[in-house]
Amino acid sequence: MMNTVFSMQTKIASLLLATGLALSWSASAQITVLQGATVHPIAAPSIDNATVVIRDGFIEAVGTDVEIPADAMVVDMTGHQLYPGFVHPATQLGLTEISSVSGTVDTSEMGNINAALNVEVAVNHDSQLLPASIAGGVLSAHIIPGGGLIRGHSAVMNLDGWIWEDMVIRPQAGMHIAFPPGAVDDADNEDLKIINRTLDQARHWHQAMEASLSNGLPAPKRNDQLEALGPMLAGEVPLMLHANRYDAMEAALDWAQDQGFENIILVATPDVQHIAPRLAEDNIPVILKNVYALPMRRHEAYDSSFVAPARLAEAGVKFAIADATRGMDVANARNLPFQAGTAVAHGLDVDTAIKSVTLWPAEILGVDEELGSIEVGKRASLFAANGHPLEPMTQITHVWIDGQAYDLSAVKGRALYERYRQRQQSR
Amino acid sequence: MRHLLTLILSCGLIVTAHAAEWTPDIEAWNSPEPPQPEAVVIRNVTVWPATEGDIIENADVLFRRGKIVAIGVDLDAPRGAIEIDGTDHHITPGIVDNHSHAAIIGGVNEASRISTADVRIRDVVDSESINIYRQLAGGVTTINLLHGSANAIGGQMATIKMRWGASPEELIFEGARPGIKFALGENPKQSNWRPAEPRYPQTRPGVEQVIREKFQTAADYQKAKESMPTGRAARNRIPPRPDHEMEAIVEIINGQLDVHSHGYRADEALALMRAAESFGFRIKTLQHILEGYKIAPQMAEHGAGGSTFIDWWNFKAEATDAIGYNPALMHEAGVLTALHSDNPELARRMNLDAAKAVRYGGVDPHEALKMITAYSADQIGAGDQIGRIAEGYDADLVLWDGHPLSAFSKVTQTWVDGRLYFDREADQRMQEALEAERAELMAMVLNQGEDDAGATETDTDPADSPATAKRQTFNFARHLTGYRPSELDHDEYCVFHAN
């Protein structure tokens, strides 16, 4: 019954959109009211039989005692669970399509210094992987570059849009540096020297540029790579430091702190659990790559990766759970919540687990005023499910991105399913 | 040398310390066989039998000397039976992963001839692979070790039970039917690997042709053998030269060796079924078969099972139409449907792949569980011995601390042949013992001063050999250390592509 009501309203809405009427309608306020669901705001306790008012793509009100605007489109969501969209904290969605077909892959630039790269310009808004992610409740993502020692700027993006420009939520979300593992016990490591030299050059270049602007001295020769490092050196953009083994993580943090960086986010494997106390003390957040990883060392416990989130939480580290961020995991970015689910089986409390894929990534990425919870003033990017969203058995039934109902039946997987199911049933 | 001796001594000490309670070891060769109790009863547990029957709450499962003898409420147990309280727990059959490469020594692919039907995986089973123990911890009790997918006709498979600590011969599960790996599509036609000398075929029609030609050649070989006269008449006649490849393909045609064929697309799978039909036999399973939902009625009619990934897709051009709903649609069409891992990491959480069959297409949870137990056992011809909780079946059982398809649940015990091969508590004892041993060795090294300590830094790990270094460039193995090469090995032509 509810579904019928909903689909009729969607039909009316799309009919309006299809005609010129939509223009005048959306020129005034576009208001959607989701009524009757159990709302899980994440930042606050869950609310039964709640009302969510969405105006022009943003959440205007949430609660049980909410006045419904007269011109609102009301959707009955009784019996559903409403959650904020998952915020994927590190992925290469949009930069790769079919990993074995090199013409479709733009994930890793050649060379050591790629500071001047901005990933958002290569995000294919029509990638088939994006609707698949959305159908899994992953509605926004931090898209990261993958090539070289200094890799460039990442961006937080909506996963739905007509052009990449409209999808950008936060450009320059971070400058990515891969700490060379060989530098752990080698002060003369060549790769680290390259990084150090580049950062020194960048500091000098920016000093010279400032001097030129304020004193009229000759400007330094244009250099895109050095210029791009400016926001990170000024502390305006976080240093996103990649390291995979705990000793490399420690060395990377020593190095970064020696360099004077204060705005640091560690992008790390489950091995990060071994340096949790330091991270808590230094207040460094973590993007945790892949709970679904084999133990780093053969002799380690079978569950050593599964317990990493719980260990971080116990130590008081703020973290966001990611997948492997690359390769096969890009097409399966939709499986992000299950990694957090498995962490629950291995000691993480369920509320922290869900935060680690919604509110915490938003906070770590500096987009928590817009994403990560169902709260007044945030983007209305949310989904409805028939169960707990960290459970693989749960089905996602509705999605809204910036207040717009997303047509899940058009997602390739679902469309093929319907097409072949009908054929099968007609036989 | 002295180090080695001390190592052995300290291991000995640890084993003695826990002699009273069975404790596994991280090394198979040092892991004692768990005892097989005369009788065990697990009480007050939710039983998922993976049979035609229903899920039973608050029931008991009784097994004796490795075989299940009864399922019911308030069962009478024999005197001396070990009683296990299953309150708040669920019990399922052991998981059967019928597409694995997790314990094969020396390379998964004999990527040379287009047909290597004469190669046998059972000759190279790696009983020391840590994957065996880790997968037990995820509830897996039987895995089917398949040759890789580089060749249209690959090698013969070996099915093993996860008897951690047993020899390669003892791992073999003789209850499974013999089978052989086939492969279709991009891998046999070398789309993603270009050796200096290309090999015929380079197209899908070529793959189909070469398979038919091999069938015909084998049929001719058999005819020539059969037409050899006996006795005096055989004098002065030269019999066909014995050919192990042809012998294997003859067994395929005669229905003695089941075909399990790798392939993604509908067209090539349909062609393989038709080729088999023209020689009078059936394809046992189509492996991966990501487009199975497009030919599900034809598969059901032919009798081919579908063994698939739940949601891997778009890693190759031939995987773009893979959908999570594939198992649901195949199952609905009457195809014997199973889910497999093909990957040593994923194999540790196959229950969550079954859960996704509920997510995608609303398969009933009990049916979804059968896709990793009963139906996968049926596909390797062992469904009358493993994969179900029923009288007379092997006591291969998994105890879960919650709903078996929930991400929030984990395995607490895994039984194989009525022996407790994985136990969370025993695992904890092992971890503590390893920690103590490591601390002891570290203390010894530190006490011996700088010169000696330097020697221990020499890394002689086989995982650092050049051959392994190349393989370790794949995602799931990128930063791992201390592993044996076979433990990280996989079908390198199948799914993993560095990006």
**In a domain? residue A409:** no
pLDDT at A28: 60
Q: Is residue A406 one of the residues assigned to a domain?
A: no
**pLDDT for A412 beyond 90:** yes
Give the pLDDT confidence of B112-131 residue by residue, as tens digits: 999 999 999 999 999 999 99
* Confidence at residue B371, expressed as pLDDT on a 0 to 100 scale: 98
Q: Is there a contact between B429 and B34 (Cβ–Cβ < 8 Å)? A: no
Distance (Å) from the alpha carbon of B349 to chain A's nearest alpha carbon: 9
Confirm or reject contact between B224 and chain A (CB < 8 A).
Answer: no
Among residues 133-192 of chain A, which lie with CB inside 8 Å of chain B? 146
Note the pLDDT of residue A256: 98
Q: What is the pLDDT of residues A114-170, one digit of tens each?
A: 999 999 999 999 999 999 999 999 999 999 999 999 999 999 999 999 999 999 999
Q: Is residue A196 part of a domain?
A: yes
Q: Evaluate whether residue A277 is within a structural domain.
A: yes
Look at residue B457 in the predicted model and tell me its pLDDT. 40
Query: How far away is chain A from the Cα of B331, in angstroms, using its nearest Cα?
Result: 11
Residue at A199 is within a domain: yes
A100 closest CA partner among B185, B36, B48, B157: B185
Per-residue pLDDT, averaged over A275-299, amounts to: 97
Q: How do residues B85-97 score in pLDDT, each as one tens digit?
A: 999 999 999 999 9
Determine the pLDDT at residue B186: 95
Q: Tokens 């080729």 correspond to what residue? A: B275
Q: 0.95 cut: is pTM over it?
A: no
Residue A51 lies in a domain: no
Confidence of residue B492 (pLDDT cuts 50, 70, 90): confident
Q: How many CB pairs under 8 A join A and B?
A: 176
The predicted pLDDT at position B456 comes to 41
CA distance B216 to B210: 10
Mean per-residue pLDDT of chain B? 91
Chain A residues closer than 8 Å to B312 by CB: 328, 331-332
**B435 inside 8 A of chain A by CB:** no
- How high does pLDDT run on average in chain A? 93
Report which of residues A129 and B446 the model is more confident about. A129
Domain extent at residue A143:
86-372
Lowest average pLDDT, out of A364-373, B36-45, B190-199, goes to B190-199
Q: What is the pLDDT of residues A293-334, one digit of tens each?
A: 999 999 999 999 999 999 999 999 999 999 999 988 999 999
- Residue B13 reports pLDDT greater than 50: no
Rounded Cα–Cα distance for residues B350 and B326 (Å): 16
Q: What pLDDT sits at residue B8? A: 42
A416 and B296 within 8 Å at the Cβ level: the answer is: no
pLDDT of residue B20: 65
**Residue B348 clears pLDDT 80, i.e. is over it:** yes
Kindly state the average pLDDT of the residues A18-45. Answer: 75
CATH code assigned at A138: 3.20.20.140
> Chain A: nearest CA to B447, how far in angstroms?
22
> What pLDDT does residue B449 have?
64
Separation of first and last alpha carbons in chain A? 29
Contact call for residues A395 and B362 (beta carbons, < 8 A)? yes
With beta carbons under 8 A apart, name residues in chain B contacting A329.
475
pLDDT tens-place string over residues B458-476:
444 444 444 444 444 455 5
Q: Flag whether A344 is in a domain.
A: yes
Number of domains in chain A: 1
User: How far, in Å, CA of B362 to CA of A397, rounded?
Assistant: 12
Beta-bridged to residue A406, according to DSSP, are: A399
- The label of the residue with tokens 């005096």 reads B232
In this predicted structure, the answer to whether residue B496 has a pLDDT above a threshold of 90 is no
pLDDT beyond 60 at B499: no
**String of DSSP letters for A46-101:** -EEEEEEEEETTEEEEEESS-PPPTTPEEEE-TT-EEEEPEEEEEE-BTTBS-TT-
Asked, for residue A391, whether it belongs to a domain, the answer is: no
**A105 close to B (CB below 8 A):** yes
**Paired strand residues for B180:** B156, B259
Picking from A101, A105, A421, the nearest residue to B329 by CB comes out as: A421
Judged by CB atoms closer than 8 Å, whether chains meet at A326 and B475 is answered as yes
- Amino acid in the structure at residue A332: N
Give all strands (DSSP E) within A232-348, no chain letters.
239-243, 264-268, 286-289, 319-322
Q: A184, A274, A294, A409: best mutation site toward chain B, by most B Cβ within 10 Å?
A: A294
Interface confidence, given as ipTM, is 0.92
